[in-house]
Amino acid sequence: MGVQLPQFTRRRVLRALGRDIVAVLLLTMGCSLGVPGDAESGQQKDSSDYQQYFPKYTRPAAIPFPTDNLFTEERAQLGKTLFFDPRLSGSNWISCATCHNPALSWGDGLPKAIGHGMTELTRRTPAIWNLAWATSLFWDGRTASLEEQALGPIAAQAEMNLSLDKMVAKLKGIPQYGPLFASAYANEPISEKTVAKALATFERTVISGKAPFDRWMEGDESAVSAAAKQGFVLFNTKANCVACHSGWRLTDDSFHDVGLAGEDRGRGTQLEGIEEAQFTFKTPTLRNVERRAPYMHDGATPTLEAVIDLYNRGGDVRRPSLSPQIKPLHLTAKEEQDLLAFLHTLTSVDAPVTVPTLPQ
């Protein structure tokens, strides 16, 4: 069930969430398809070059919320407050926002995440852009909903290291949280369930805004360069990036072995008896990808240029689980640069996120 974005009046959403959330909500409205042309020359191009691919990338007009956790301003505000509260950790200094920092494109900018006691974890922090549409969470897909995912890092000893019973007791001991929970979830107590539901509601509002790519699809031929337009065609044809990075979020929400070296079996740790699942990892969104270095699940690929090189050479490791799409692409240096130019068009201008005042 989705919430139609026009129903969010500017006054009501500003009161509860601040300018950061209203901006991204309004930016998710659908776009129309424009007539392609050459921005440099002003001449019309053959629409078969790229317009045929536009429909696959049209943005939705509504954010989907589950029927048992529908959107309200109070729920989103509570979730945002919990997201930024370090008291949801055993040390009282790690919050969800510590690793999912809005200033770092909802990541942490590190090759691998840092958890409780400054422990380096085994995988990079994934960004939380556009997860309202996700069908599985974590690099290995071990949870199926944001509600299920939300409590995992809190309880994990290596991450936030706070048992869920202690989390509930701690929140009940903070007087100002009581009215916030009562307003968001009437007739439901402060519990693991309501904490998870509130965090999930907030996370569903973390939506990337329109990027130059979207404006180009709407008809603004000057929004992207000629190189980026060629890169978009390559993305959908010779480079075959679309095989995994599909849809408006540029992810298929599936799992692939892309030929990275390493011992981490990814999805295979959840599906031990399935050879095809070994060394597979969830496809990340490409929205705002240029702001999220380093790359891949292990953070071992420092730049987008290096990512493109990896795919161009067909990965580094050959094994039975390797995705069939991973094979040498034979892209020229010019084609690699065009593809990079297209990836840069996926960067949106998003409003600064305001940090909430924490309850006492």
What are the pLDDT digits (tens) for 2-52?
444 433 333 333 333 343 333 333 333 333 223 333 333 333 344 447 889
User: Do residues 138 and 198 both lie within one domain?
Assistant: yes
User: Do residues 78 and 191 both lie within one domain?
Assistant: yes
User: Do residues 216 and 199 both lie within one domain?
Assistant: no
User: Do residues 179 and 222 both lie within one domain?
Assistant: no
**Residues involved in catalysis:** 159
Residue 10 falls inside a structural domain: no
User: Do residues 321 and 282 both lie within one domain?
Assistant: yes
**Rounded CA gap, 75 and 85, in Å?**
15
User: Do residues 180 and 73 both lie within one domain?
Assistant: yes
User: Do residues 158 and 252 both lie within one domain?
Assistant: no
In total, how many domains does the chain have? 2
State the DSSP string of 244-305: TS-TTTT--S-EEB----SS--BGGGTSTT-GGGTTBEEPPP-TTGGGS-SBSTTS-B-SHH
pLDDT for res 228 = 97
**How confident is the model over 195-242, as pLDDT tens digits?**
999 999 999 999 999 999 999 999 999 999 999 999 999 999 999 999
Q: Which amino acid is at 272?
A: E
**Rounded CA gap, 109 and 151, in Å?**
22
Strands 62-64, 255-256: parallel, antiparallel or unpaired by DSSP?
unpaired
User: Do residues 150 and 221 both lie within one domain?
Assistant: no
**Rounded CA gap, 160 and 85, in Å?**
12
Q: Which amino acid is at 106?
A: W
User: Do residues 214 and 338 both lie within one domain?
Assistant: yes
Q: Which helix (H) or strand (E) holds 64?
A: strand 62-64
**How confident is the model over 70-127, as pLDDT tens digits?**
999 999 999 999 999 999 999 999 999 999 999 999 999 999 999 999 999 999 999 9
Residues ≥6 apart with Cβ < 8 Å to 148: 137, 196
Phi-psi region of 42 (alpha: psi -120 to 50; beta: other; left: phi over 0): left
User: Do residues 263 and 233 both lie within one domain?
Assistant: yes
Q: In which domain, by residue range, is 79 found?
A: 64-204
Nearest Cα residue to 130 out of 287, 348, 290, 342: 287
What CATH number has the domain bearing residue 334? 1.10.760.10
Which two three-digit tokens encode residue 249?
């979020």
Residue 121 falls inside a structural domain: yes
Q: Are 2 and 64 in contact (CB under 8 A)?
A: yes
Residues ≥6 apart with Cβ < 8 Å to 261: 316, 317
The model's pTM? 0.86
**Rounded CA gap, 205 and 13, in Å?**
11
Which two three-digit tokens encode residue 216?
């180009």
CA angle 353, 358, 157 (to 5 degrees): 90
Residues ≥6 apart with Cβ < 8 Å to 179: none
